[in-house]
Structure 1
């Protein structure tokens, strides 16, 4: 399980680094290629367009080749895309290379959390899946530090990601396939071997294997499979919650800050060095608060942690927008603006950002899990793409402060949506979650009731 979590972490690291490195690199790229905001948006967004394609394509690959086989393909594409981007001679080639790189990013975000969730014991599932999310924070922090140094050429900074991608490829060669996918394909013996490799030595996996087999049989009889299965009425509540949560993780404003904070700050009169140092502070905050969230999520609960932190994120953006709207965004107010940005990052990274990938790996029934995770990833990346392609234009049109207010409103809407629709999944096995769906008991209140076997949600 340590190696499984490590592979998941490397894929998250690559996602965080490859998307975050563009923030500081854009300052160098725009000077070298002599480009403006339009091309900057295209270069930043191209990786997101590729991620949408990767998420949808790798869903089918995960069903046909297995989770492990798909991650092998993803790792290879990471290497190719990274090298191509680092050697790009012009903005067109750079955008196309980042499009290829985006395929790997989307494929990793769709497949890695599902792979870990299907191998992990219920007790540790949340923490192991969130290794992926934490690694995203590490990748973003490393990227901001590299960008802030200003001594590393952007080509070297981008190309360095090929090393962890190659390590991921090598590690995947020694890992087992998902036991749930193997049972679904009628390979129970191999599924038993896979479980035994990731459980304590001598542990009896017969009960767990029997539970998986029973669920697979019931789903095959019901013909609820793949993308078609997502349209089934009993699966739809999970799809609504999962995709809604994915959309709001982006509308929270996190990507606006990660991708464009140096550009926003320099356009508002901040020096390049100050803007890049702020990016490092934000990257560090992202990582620290995610580690705190990782430590407490299984005790506090997924739903509660999200609902407690969303109001703080909305208030931070409201205050931040007020600084710019009232003209209090000069040098004297820099400390207050930075504190507000850090507060926003803490509330967002330690709350709703933890849930985006975790729910996609556990909320859907087994037979639709790959398709559901792909739909959720595509929703996330599609929203991210729309934001990245339009953000600088929106700022030019309505102003920096008003844009922050707009995203504060999105956080309020997210709170209302999740309060009404998102159940508490902490402490539930994948099979229990699926049972709730099948019985039409997927509202928050339904998960507060005792289980039929006498257990209760923690």
Structure 2
């Protein structure tokens, strides 16, 4: 069988021309709010450790080894959560999986805030990580499968924006210095409980209900999230076709990712995920106060810097999201990566040449902000976005899970080793190392990543199945 014959069928003309699902309803807004809360918790729970580590180190009397373990433990849980929740959402449904994720957020936040020692804190953050990984895997899919077509992109992006909001809130809490780290971490219980309560009011994904053989419940779910009187028959028919195409495809699921014609998408997707982390953003988000205090900054100054970085992250993400469809995914990534690399080279030079004293503080902070702007407004937008676009329909969920696990796994490796690398080769040299990673990412994506902007999912899959998945192939096909 040829690759093109192996592909799942695309939508019929009738289904493609169906009504777009009408306007927004309160139920759809609540769905988007749940996704936003899960994104906020992701940003907050990963970002709060940045400032909290200074207090935790003093209270427990620990060194850089334990600091790395505490910071990285949430990422170990995220790898497991992304992979496990991918399967849970297929077997139990998106709604049930998100209920589990919300409950785990509550338990993990409480356990971390009450931890009596660094080991218990690390274990609690592994539990939190499971919820973080599960949320990143499930929440955007849940929104996409319930939102009306005309609002789908904007509602799914609530999750991405909320991550930036969570990081910013975490940095502000850390900068106050008056909030005990246990209170700061435990505060995540409130949005976690709100997410759990809201999920109890929502239906499951119509697409999952059809796959599970509950077509009447799928119709009821659509009617609950569409304006009163909307005829959902056309939308339900399209879901029937998509589910049938997925069910009959011989290339599907995790096994389908090993097919030669799917492999280029997997290489690009997972490679992009790896380089979003090797960009150095997690080094800055998790450890900037630690790095700065170790190099002579006061605690107050070191804790204020992440607030500027968090605000920059959020603002540049919003700018990036506003222009990405006009500039293009590939072009925006390639335009911003050199700027990030240059910023890290300059940062490294400050520290290597000894120009890291009080007089240079404004320049160091400005360079950190420039790095954050180039990274957050560029490659960081692509890590989650491409997972929903680059893979064939029948392997999309498995591909997104593999990409998510690659991202979290790389993040885990970086967080576990960063302070040790700094101790071994020096702060400035470490910044230079990550500058080299950005250059390598530029080369990889320049050679491998096609421009997906302006192409439907069916067009992307068609080019992939035909063996035309290079940047040059996509440029010729325009």
Task: Provide the TM-score with structure 1 as the length reference.
Answer: 0.93
Output the CA distance in 1 between the equivalents of 2:146 and 2:119: 41
The correspondence for 1:414, drawn from 437, 441, 451, is 441
The Cα of 1:118 is off from its aligned counterpart by 3.1
1:347 counterpart = 2:374? yes
CA-to-aligned-CA distance 1:390-409 (integer Å, 9 cap, x gap):
00000111111111111111
CA-to-aligned-CA distance 1:400-442 (integer Å, 9 cap, x gap):
1111111111111111222222233334444443344334333
Match of residue 343 from structure 2 = 316
Match of residue 116 from structure 2 = 89
Aligned residue runs from structure 1 range 56-205, under 5 A: 56-121=83-148, 123-199=150-226, 205=232
Cα pair 1:12 1:139 within 8 Å, conserved: yes
Output the CA distance in 2 between the equivalents of 1:73 and 1:198: 22
Aligned residue runs from structure 1 range 148-297, under 5 A: 148-199=175-226, 205-297=232-324
Cα pair 2:249 2:394 within 8 Å, conserved: no
Taking a change above 3 Å as real, the CA distance of residues 202 and 350 of structure 1, as seen in their structure-2 partners, is farther
Output the CA distance in 2 between the equivalents of 1:6 and 1:321: 40
The Cα of 1:121 is off from its aligned counterpart by 4.8
1:303 counterpart = 2:368? no
Match of residue 394 from structure 1 = 421
Output the CA distance in 2 between the equivalents of 1:391 and 1:215: 44
- How many residue pairs were aligned? 451
Over the aligned positions, Cα root-mean-square deviation in angstroms equals: 2.0
CA-to-aligned-CA distance 1:10-59 (integer Å, 9 cap, x gap):
11100111111111001001111111111111111111111111111111
Match of residue 453 from structure 1 = none
Match of residue 450 from structure 2 = 423
Output the CA distance in 2 between the equivalents of 1:194 and 1:236: 36
The Cα of 1:130 is off from its aligned counterpart by 2.3
Cα pair 1:82 1:101 within 8 Å, conserved: yes
SS in 1 for 2:251: coil
Match of residue 55 from structure 1 = 82
Q: Which runs of 5 or more residues in structure 2 are unaligned?
A: 1-27
Output the CA distance in 2 between the equivalents of 1:416 and 1:50: 31
Taking a change above 3 Å as real, the CA distance of residues 209 and 234 of structure 1, as seen in their structure-2 partners, is farther
Match of residue 400 from structure 2 = 373
Output the CA distance in 1 between the equivalents of 2:238 and 2:458: 8
Output the CA distance in 2 between the equivalents of 1:276 and 1:56: 34
Match of residue 25 from structure 1 = 52
Output the CA distance in 1 between the equivalents of 2:66 and 2:425: 20
Match of residue 331 from structure 1 = 358
Q: Which runs of 5 or more residues in structure 1 are unaligned?
A: 451-455
The correspondence for 1:40, drawn from 42, 56, 67, is 67
Output the CA distance in 2 between the equivalents of 1:420 and 1:429: 22
CA-to-aligned-CA distance 1:85-140 (integer Å, 9 cap, x gap):
00011111111111111110111111112222333455544433222121111111
Q: Which moved more, 1:280-289 or 1:297-306?
A: 297-306
Output the CA distance in 2 between the equivalents of 1:447 and 1:373: 22
Output the CA distance in 2 between the equivalents of 1:402 and 1:347: 20
Cα pair 1:114 1:360 within 8 Å, conserved: no
Output the CA distance in 2 between the equivalents of 1:123 and 1:449: 29
Output the CA distance in 2 between the equivalents of 1:122 and 1:429: 13
Output the CA distance in 2 between the equivalents of 1:12 and 1:310: 25
Match of residue 360 from structure 1 = 387
CA-to-aligned-CA distance 1:356-396 (integer Å, 9 cap, x gap):
11222332233322222221111111101100010000011
Output the CA distance in 1 between the equivalents of 2:168 and 2:454: 31
